[in-house]
Structure 1
Amino acid sequence: MPKRLRLKKIVNWKVQGPFIWRLVLHFFAYNAAVLGLLLAAWGIQTAVAAVTDSPVVPHVPTLWERIAPLAIAMAVMTPFMIWDLMRITNRVAGPLYRFECLLNEFVESGRISHARLREGDLPTDFQKKFNEFVEAMHGLYPETVPEKQPAAKSESRPAGDAAGDVQAAEQVLETVA
């Protein structure tokens, strides 16, 4: 889809929200650290000037003296920001990798299993839809049921109600598509 047609900036708040909040947190933490370092540098200069009875800025500050607090904050905080972003992106990348493995297993063996995500993973709504799709596949094509997993149980309909299973599977497939 061309970029100009993508009008919706937030597609799924449950997935995008943690990234946005984390970025806002990093932005404010970084700026607070830079401000704190600038105030600390100014406080040290003022204290030294008061003790030595000399002007606060005896000479024109060099470029390094001006950007030192920024460079220090950047050097200290960047590894933490990268680590934190890697940690939060794993909450999406891990489930996507598990879905990919399930699909690869389906291509190789012709059998498809339910998706199981870890606590804290983000695309849980996709997991529910995927598992509904798997149930529909199992209802339409019983040969796709993994050997280790028992066949799909029909609790609300009597056993042998194949027409009801097919209708339910078709409804799920329509909602997934």
Structure 2
Amino acid sequence: MSHPDRKKIYVDPRVQGALVKRLIIHWAMFIVASAVIAFCLQVLSNPFQSIGQHAQNLWWTHGPFLLVMTFLLPVFVFDTIRLSHRFAGPIYRLRQTIRTIAQGKPTARLKFRDFDFWQGLAEDFNRMVDRLSSHGVTEFVEDELECSPTTEAK
């Protein structure tokens, strides 16, 4: 089964934005806690040095770690957005399909990509629509459409 390329991975700003915000907050808390602990250990290792000397020693010993962590933050954010798209994308597509049905338009069977989360949700939704269709409540196009947030129903 083919998997069309996703053109848009940031489909639900509310959910995905909250995840990114939380990741950045946790990252910043980790950096601050690490810096405070490292500084305290630096001061305790030689309490007779000046604060400036401790800060300089701290930078030379732990500065590379801080730089690496700073450069890794965008990687962490991008990976979080990509991973969250595996559950935000299917929910976005489900919402679009529900809106289409609510407008009285026919829609294709809902099928998420193999690597997306919520596979059972698409199956349950299709069973529900089949049941409603058998009672004449909604019309369902018989072909399956592999759905992504950027794919429109046929």
Displacement after TM superposition at 1:113 (Å): 3.6
Distance 1:93 1:138 in 2: 27
Aligned residue for 2:112?
Answer: 117
Q: After superposition, give the CA deviation of every residue in 1:20-69 in whole Å (9 maximum; x if it has no partner).
A: xxx9xxx9xx9xxx9xxxxxxxxxxxxxxxxxxxxxxxx64524335413
2:142 aligned counterpart, secondary structure: coil
Displacement after TM superposition at 1:110 (Å): 4.8
Aligned residue for 1:82?
Answer: 77
Aligned residue for 1:149?
Answer: 142
Structural mapping, 1:153-164, within 5 Å = none
Aligned residue for 2:89?
Answer: 94
Q: After superposition, give the CA deviation of every residue in 1:102-159 in whole Å (9 maximum; x if it has no partner).
A: 0110111254542111120011111111111111111122x5123x438xxxxxxxxx
Contact 1:105 1:111 in 2 (8 A): yes
Structural mapping, 1:29-48, within 5 Å = none
Displacement after TM superposition at 1:72 (Å): 1.1
Residue 102 of structure 2 is aligned with which of 102, 107, 112? 107
2:116 aligned counterpart, secondary structure: coil
Aligned residue for 2:131?
Answer: 136
User: Greater CA radius of gyration, 1 or 2?
Assistant: 1
Distance 2:67 2:54 in 1: 21
Name whichever structure is richer in helix by fraction: 1
**Aligned pairs, how many?**
97
Distance 2:55 2:118 in 1: 51
Residue 69 of structure 1 is aligned with which of 64, 82, 91? 64
1:121 aligned counterpart, secondary structure: coil
Q: Could you list the runs of 5+ residues in structure 1 that have no partner in the other structure? A: 1-22, 35-58, 151-177
Q: Could you list the runs of 5+ residues in structure 2 that have no partner in the other structure? A: 1-22, 35-52, 144-154
Letter in 2 for 1:88: L
Name whichever structure is richer in strand by fraction: 2
TM-score normalized by structure 1? Answer: 0.45
Contact 2:109 2:126 in 1 (8 A): yes
Aligned structure 1 segments of 4 or more residues deviating by more than 3 angstroms? 110-113
Letter in 1 for 2:93: R
- How many percent of aligned residue pairs carry the same amino acid? 21
